[in-house]
Structure 1
Amino acid sequence: MNNTQSCNSPMGTVATLHTESVNRVATELCGYVDVGSILDGSAIEPPVPSVCLRSDGIGLFYEGQFNVVFGDPESGKTLLCDFASVEALAAGGRVLRLDLDHNGPQSTLSRLIDFGADEEVLRDAERFLYVEPAERVQMLHIIEHMEVWKPTLVILDSIGELLPLYGSNSNSADEFTDVHTRVIKPLTRTGAAVVGIDHLAKGADSRAYGPTGTAAKRRAIGGTSIRVKVDQAFTPDAGGSAYLSIHKDRHGGLRRHSPSGDREPLAGKFCILGDTINVQAPLSTDRNPEETAPEADVAAIANLDPAPTSARETRERLKWSDKRARTAFKSWQKESA
């Protein structure tokens, strides 16, 4: 077979074409990226998150990628996505809300309006769409429509409810990959920042790893994975706040502008205080509270004689939980250094 023949084309169909024509046909049929056109443009920069901006102008989520926010119930995950939705609409974007968690249109619209969304924009079907998919055929029609509608932001609430719609299990890598291929990947190809809301497992070790289910869920993330941890509980009248930490950042654009030193660096703090709603950018000296031990725990280790040589030894001598011992031992080591 001629080496210049196009992918999967019949024998001889391109053999007589000039080299340039062969390359053009092969590129069209095989989907090769035109690297030359990319290099002919301006200087190549790594992707930068531009959706759901912090107070310093750095975004939490990437356009054209699958991003995830996860945490415990009522930690502020959906509220953060509401904030991102209102911000995208205010900037002239288009937002699709896929509500598989049955939050309800009244509740969702009420929150968006409270966050400052323009009611006329919410009424405009060219700018905002809300849907509660009930079956696979309906989801297929939605995805086909999005190829034309071209959303800026897609909120998928939640991953845990999307998988059963396809008869899939969160613990199966193959089944998650199948749903990702059918739903999530086509949505990212529209250019939208797709943000999936997910939940934490109950076990301590699993919680440290991230969202529930198969490791394939983490591998599929092409943007960021943000852990949401409540600081002050969110209430209708008093507001609240939550710490946001970086569980994964494939391109490093958010991590580059966040404090270093923690396994999951602090990405910011989501705050609702009266009419003020924002994501406060962290200072370079800010640390993830989940990875910073109380001073009393650090002092307890400092008083041990002889000094412990590992977190395991700390746990055994002080009769602490594994997580408490690891966090305190790490903080003690940093202070000692």
Structure 2
Amino acid sequence: MTQTEDPWLGTVPPMADGAEREKLDRSWKPQDLTDILDGTYVPPQPTVGQRADGVGMFYPGRIHSTVGESEGGKTWFALLASAIEIARGNNVLFLDFEDDAGGVVGRLMALQVSPDLIRKHFAYIRPESPLTDGWNKLELTQALGDLRPTYVTVDGITEGMALHGLELKDNTDVAKFGRSILRPIADTGAAVNTLDHVVKDKEGRGRYAIGGVHKLNGLNGAMYMLENRTPFGAGVIGKSTVRIAKDRPGQLRRHALPHSSGMHWFADFVLHSHFEQYAEASLVAPIEQTGPFRPTGLMKKVSDALVTAREPLSVRGVQDRVTGNKDAVRAALARLVDEEFVAVETGPRNAQLHRLVKPFSEEKSQ
């Protein structure tokens, strides 16, 4: 058959038949909606990785992201999921644009994953040239075909995009990186988890990683944000709060608690590093507060505002200095008064002024 010309489609190739037609991309063909319409459709479930109470962390075949500040535990968090999958007898892959094999595998061994299990179920790739060069794409395809991993970590998105000549802040380039590298990996059935950094400005970062907003918008799985409470390091107990910044399939938030930030509290990630070669990691479910509401993050901000104030502040004075919902800021101030961190004094015209008695610390209050 010969090609034809269409005023809208342009050059139209001949219609393929039989086996040749099956090889073509059929994504523009209307999908079969039978299972959705007859009620048999089952939404995607997070079955990869596991919180301590058995709740899964990642959706198979979807793209996720874990973001946080440097040394906030992102790599340890990802390797905990790897260790869980390995313990289940599944294979995992670590695609690393940032570190080296010694650092990554050393941490996995510190989590007490044996060398034999690592040899059998873990693969590490450290790209030094773009996927489009030489045999690179074939090598990755071969590795994915041999491993059939259930979980793939992609560390160093900034470095990975730079390696491929893509601009971090360009949403088109962000989408291109996802479409050409992340999506094909997820299409094998693996849960893909990218590790990324947040912007430096704590007040203005919201739910976003550094770079284009498509990093969040392009995810079809979940985004976790790690808020570090106690730094991670050899010989110390590090702790980060894990919040859900996005949950496209909507099956994770039911296992989390609401938070004043708008992001649900999914877990506390704790890493007890006894020494460099031995660490214990745990992902603990949030505990519903039975006592008074304690917005600890806002309580710390209010305390800091009162530290820097030249004189005692009214409620409005506190609200003017602390970003956030005004009612939530008022509630945080009230908790500080009830817990005797702040004293209330009567000022001119019977104004209620607030003076800091002692600084508030989130770590010491937990």
TM-score by length of 2: 0.73
> What CA distance in whole angstroms lies between the structure 2 residues aligned with 1:165 and 1:159?
10
> Is 276-285 or 160-169 further displaced after alignment?
276-285
1:44/1:27 CA distance change after superposition, 3 Å: farther
Q: Aligned residue for 1:113?
A: 109
What is the SS of the residue equivalent to 2:231? Answer: strand
Matched, 1:293 2:290: no
> What CA distance in whole angstroms lies between the structure 1 residues aligned with 2:78 and 2:118?
16
- Pairwise CA distance, 1:289: 6.2
Matched, 1:278 2:277: no
- Pairwise CA distance, 1:293: 2.4
Matched, 1:92 2:89: yes
Check the 8 A contact 1:173/1:215 in 2, yes or no. yes
Q: Aligned residue for 2:360?
A: none
- Pairwise CA distance, 1:59: 1.9
> What CA distance in whole angstroms lies between the structure 1 residues aligned with 2:101 and 2:294?
35
Matched, 1:215 2:209: no
The structure 2 residue matched to 1:133, chosen from 127, 134, 149, is 127
What is the SS of the residue equivalent to 1:112? Answer: helix
- Pairwise CA distance, 1:244: 0.6
Which amino acid letter does the alignment assign opposite residue 122 of structure 2? F
What is the SS of the residue equivalent to 1:252? Answer: coil
- Pairwise CA distance, 1:98: 1.1
Check the 8 A contact 1:268/1:279 in 2, yes or no. yes
Check the 8 A contact 1:52/1:60 in 2, yes or no. yes
> What CA distance in whole angstroms lies between the structure 2 residues aligned with 1:39 and 1:327?
40
Which amino acid letter does the alignment assign opposite residue 49 of structure 2? C
The structure 2 residue matched to 1:167, chosen from 118, 141, 165, is 165
> What CA distance in whole angstroms lies between the structure 2 residues aligned with 1:186 and 1:9?
25
- Pairwise CA distance, 1:51: 2.1
> Is 279-288 or 193-202 further displaced after alignment?
279-288
CA RMSD after TM alignment: 3.5
> What CA distance in whole angstroms lies between the structure 1 residues aligned with 2:296 and 2:142?
42
Check the 8 A contact 1:96/1:130 in 2, yes or no. yes
> What CA distance in whole angstroms lies between the structure 2 residues aligned with 1:296 and 1:214?
32
Which amino acid letter does the alignment assign opposite residue 80 of structure 2? F
- Pairwise CA distance, 1:169: 1.3
- Pairwise CA distance, 1:239: 3.1
> What CA distance in whole angstroms lies between the structure 1 residues aligned with 2:240 and 2:302?
24
1:206/1:170 CA distance change after superposition, 3 Å: farther
CA shift digits 1:108-151 (9 cap, x unpaired):
21211111212112123xx2211210011265234322451321
CA shift digits 1:127-179 (9 cap, x unpaired):
22112100112652343224513211111111111100111111011111111
Which amino acid letter does the alignment assign opposite residue 277 of structure 1? A
> Is 266-275 or 75-84 further displaced after alignment?
266-275
Q: Aligned residue for 1:123?
A: 119
Matched, 1:35 2:32: yes
What is the SS of the residue equivalent to 1:235? Answer: coil
1:261/1:75 CA distance change after superposition, 3 Å: closer
The structure 2 residue matched to 1:228, chosen from 226, 229, 244, is 226
Gaps in structure 1 of 5+ consecutive residues: 2-7, 15-20
Q: Aligned residue for 2:364?
A: none
CA shift digits 1:33-77 (9 cap, x unpaired):
763674699932322222221112112222111111111110100
1:144/1:296 CA distance change after superposition, 3 Å: closer
Q: Aligned residue for 2:199?
A: 201
The structure 2 residue matched to 1:143, chosen from 129, 140, 145, is 140
> What CA distance in whole angstroms lies between the structure 2 residues aligned with 1:295 and 1:155?
34
1:165/1:113 CA distance change after superposition, 3 Å: same
1:283/1:106 CA distance change after superposition, 3 Å: same
Check the 8 A contact 2:61/2:188 in 1, yes or no. yes
Check the 8 A contact 1:298/1:332 in 2, yes or no. no
> What CA distance in whole angstroms lies between the structure 2 residues aligned with 1:76 and 1:282?
18
Please list, as runs of the form range in 1=range in 2, the aligned pairs for 1:252-263 lying within 5 A after superposition: 252-262=250-260, 263=262
Check the 8 A contact 1:51/1:59 in 2, yes or no. yes
Q: How many aligned positions are there?
A: 306
Q: Aligned residue for 2:48?
A: 51
1:159/1:257 CA distance change after superposition, 3 Å: same
1:304/1:278 CA distance change after superposition, 3 Å: same
Check the 8 A contact 2:185/2:192 in 1, yes or no. yes
Check the 8 A contact 1:69/1:197 in 2, yes or no. yes
Matched, 1:74 2:78: no
Check the 8 A contact 2:295/2:332 in 1, yes or no. no
